[in-house]
Structure 1
Amino acid sequence: MSVAQPQPKVQVPDIAAQVTYAMRQMGISPIPRNYELFYEAYIGSNPKLTRELAALGSRATQDELDAIGAQYFSQHQVNMVDGAHSRIVGELESLVTLLRQEHSSLESYNKLLGETYSRITSKSASSADLLHNAISLLSDATGSKMERGKVTMDGVEAKSREMEDIRKELDEYKKIANTDSLTRLHNRRAFDDRLAAIYDSPLGRTTTTLIIADIDNFKKINDTFGHPVGDKILATVANVIKSNLRKDVFVARTGGEEFAVILEGSSSEDAMIVAERVRRSLEATPFRNSKTGVNYGPVTLSLGLCLASEGDSPQDLYQKSDVALYCAKSNGRNRSVTYEDGMKKELSKSWLLYKK
């Protein structure tokens, strides 16, 4: 197991604080859709977006920002999600109205029953006609009540089916919003949610490992062969990673050439076996253009692992996995390293060199 020489510990920068600071420096309004733009640019998951956002300079207008947002984040999907929410609210309001009407109808029927009973039991109700009229009235009211009840139940069932259809539609929109369009893996947004969920309960932390994988020398690949080739390599790497994991394992693309795996129900030793299986599988994968014969390889991964129980929080777990990844990079790349106490990483420009 590789171990780097101890280095001074530097506090990991808070992504949210960095994003907020950058927006403030550029005079950008701190609204959610602007934050999303700068968040994606900060983590580097879309280099083209980062370049276009930087090109706006310090005087970007909201219209310019919205134009970029519509281009990269499929704003129509956001509108569809909002529309689905509105439709669910509308169906719920209709259902509540329907049930209130039924409740009112039931109260009226109960009141009628009470009044009829009082009349029948009254000492003055000696007339046979009165008794006959009361029975006739109850019969009509009961039949009408049963018919209204059937209509209400049919309405409730219809509303329930409609809401279930909308819920499925909304789930599909959310799935799209949490999926990386290039690799079809989970994106950074979904990863952050899943990582935080690890710490919702102390159970399972001792059998959950975070693995961060980073493609070695990816900047050189992009610079040599171009971004279209780089995108194809990213998609292939994603497929290799996914094909070497159980179907229920969470895997995401968390940055430009960075991937993350949250492995649950396994020991630290088992996690290392999984990481090495992924690494060796990619190392053995040919990257060659079948038409031109150009060889894009070798393409390799460096991986950093950390058991969830080693981290005090989601941020701490990610930091320690990143420290292990740093050690894998600094000790020759194309290897897997598990975090150990004593490992340190100086977060400076030198670390960015390893990620290029």
Structure 2
Amino acid sequence: MLHLILDREAADRFAALTMTSLDELDLAPLPASYSIVFAYHAGQFPELATEVQAMLADPATATSQHCEAIYRRHFGSEPMLADYDETIRSLGRGVTEIADLLRTTSGHDRRFGVIGTELAALAGTADGAARNTLERICQELAALAQENRRLRAGVTERIEASTRSIARVSARFEVERARSRTDPLTRIGNRRCLDEEMHRHPLASLILADIDHFKRFNDSYGHKAGDLILVAFARILRQTAGSHGLAARFGGEEFAILLPDTTLAEATDVAERARTMLEGMAKITTKTGRSLSKVTASFGVAEGRAGEPPEALIERADRALYLAKNGGRNRVVAAVEAPA
């Protein structure tokens, strides 16, 4: 979320400057491009300003995709989720530290009692004013000990309540984070989830899969039937990916499997298993009793290289997928690796 502190006059001035800059860069005033250029002119985001300045200095880099990337880095949901996560963890650490402090002072009540007993014994041997003073000190010490116990009990109760509250918030946060990484229809990972895991596993092998003639299928049977096919294919991909792989919906009828610590040959075997499982799948029947025609998919496979950005791995897998589709569909093609 973009937060700016502006008055109306300043907002109007920055809006005019933003439109001028977008015209100079030949960019449409889309949400991402408008937001980052507006924030740049507002001058309240120094890290963002550096990136926008570089784009203004080299208009050839000013593309909608570049603007989307800048926007996601600074104002997208992931930075907010990360901040939120750290805030929850920080609160938890603070409550734990207070609880630890209380535990370290748990023996103070006993110490107060020992001192009170010693002073009472001393008072029994004293005379006159000294005795009165010692008795008064004993009474005040007993009152302090009682107040200390009351305060400790209150703080302990608040800590327990705060701990329960933080646990509830943390659980809700984890649910929302999982939801933000899950495709709502197929219940496998979404593109965001795939991108994150590709950055975590740069040497993983990637399988891209595309359901053959899916548009024709949708036109013939309707979108509800198409959704049934997407869900069924996602289930097959999740099964073939196994516990160490990630199945994700790449977009539309295109899917992906990311396989860490897997060679190109091994990943190709995984893709072939998924292909044959889909090809051999029993016919799907809609609620109306209509049987759907057989469904097949094409697969492209590539293996990650050291120092290669995720985009390059996706591009190589996508080229292999293109060859599979143009080679007759319902087949697996592995990317041709350049010789060492």
- Give matches, 1:49-128, under 5 Å: 92=91, 127-128=130-131
* 1:218 to 2:220 alignment: no
Whether contact under 8 Å (1:178, 1:189) holds in the other structure is yes
Aligned to 1:227: 223
Higher relative contact order by CA 8 Å / sep ≥ 6: 1 or 2? 1
Deviation at 1:292, TM superposition (A): 7.0
| Aligned counterpart in structure 1 of residue 266 of structure 2, from 264, 270, 275 | 270
| Aligned counterpart in structure 2 of residue 189 of structure 1, from 192, 207, 229 | 192
Whether contact under 8 Å (1:287, 1:296) holds in the other structure is yes
Note the residue ranges of structure 2 that are not aligned, 5 or more in a row.
Answer: 1-21, 37-76, 120-128
Tell me, in whole angstroms, the C-alpha distance in 2 between the residues paired with 1:266 and 1:284.
25
Aligned to 1:329: 325
State the TM-score, normalizing by the size of structure 2: 0.61
Tell me, in whole angstroms, the C-alpha distance in 1 between the residues paired with 2:301 and 2:157.
55
* 1:146 to 2:149 alignment: yes
Read off the aligned partner of 1:302 and give its amino acid letter. S
Identity %: 29
What SS is found at the alignment partner of 1:212? strand
Aligned to 2:308: 312
Q: Deviations over 1:151-188 (max 9, x none)?
A: 21221121011110111112112222322122111111
Tell me, in whole angstroms, the C-alpha distance in 2 between the residues paired with 1:150 and 1:175.
38
* Change over 3 Å in CA distance of 1:269–1:214 after alignment to 2: same
Whether contact under 8 Å (2:225, 2:286) holds in the other structure is no
What SS is found at the alignment partner of 1:159? helix
Aligned to 1:180: 183
Deviation at 1:248, TM superposition (A): 4.6
Deviation at 1:339, TM superposition (A): 1.7
What SS is found at the alignment partner of 1:30? helix
Whether contact under 8 Å (2:241, 2:257) holds in the other structure is no
Aligned residue pairs total 249
Note the residue ranges of structure 1 that are not aligned, 5 or more in a row.
Answer: 1-19, 35-77, 121-125, 200-204, 344-356
* Change over 3 Å in CA distance of 1:30–1:269 after alignment to 2: closer
* 1:167 to 2:170 alignment: yes
Read off the aligned partner of 2:299 and give its amino acid letter. L
Aligned to 2:251: 255
Tell me, in whole angstroms, the C-alpha distance in 2 between the residues paired with 1:288 and 1:129.
95
Whether contact under 8 Å (2:286, 2:292) holds in the other structure is no
Larger Rg: 2
Tell me, in whole angstroms, the C-alpha distance in 1 between the residues paired with 2:287 and 2:174.
41
* 1:158 to 2:161 alignment: yes
Tell me, in whole angstroms, the C-alpha distance in 1 between the residues paired with 2:34 and 2:324.
36
Whether contact under 8 Å (2:241, 2:259) holds in the other structure is no
* Change over 3 Å in CA distance of 1:129–1:273 after alignment to 2: same
Tell me, in whole angstroms, the C-alpha distance in 2 between the residues paired with 1:288 and 1:272.
27
* 1:241 to 2:237 alignment: yes
Whether contact under 8 Å (1:279, 1:300) holds in the other structure is yes
Q: Deviations over 1:20-64 (max 9, x none)?
A: 99xx85533338999xxxxxxxxxxxxxxxxxxxxxxxxxxxxxx
Deviation at 1:225, TM superposition (A): 2.4
Q: Aligned-residue CA RMSD in angstroms?
A: 4.1
Whether contact under 8 Å (1:179, 1:187) holds in the other structure is yes
Tell me, in whole angstroms, the C-alpha distance in 2 between the residues paired with 1:317 and 1:196.
11
Aligned to 2:62: none
State the TM-score, normalizing by the size of structure 1: 0.59
* Change over 3 Å in CA distance of 1:292–1:158 after alignment to 2: closer
Whether contact under 8 Å (2:191, 2:251) holds in the other structure is yes
What SS is found at the alignment partner of 2:305? helix
Q: Deviations over 1:82-101 (max 9, x none)?
A: 9xx69x87x959x77x96xx
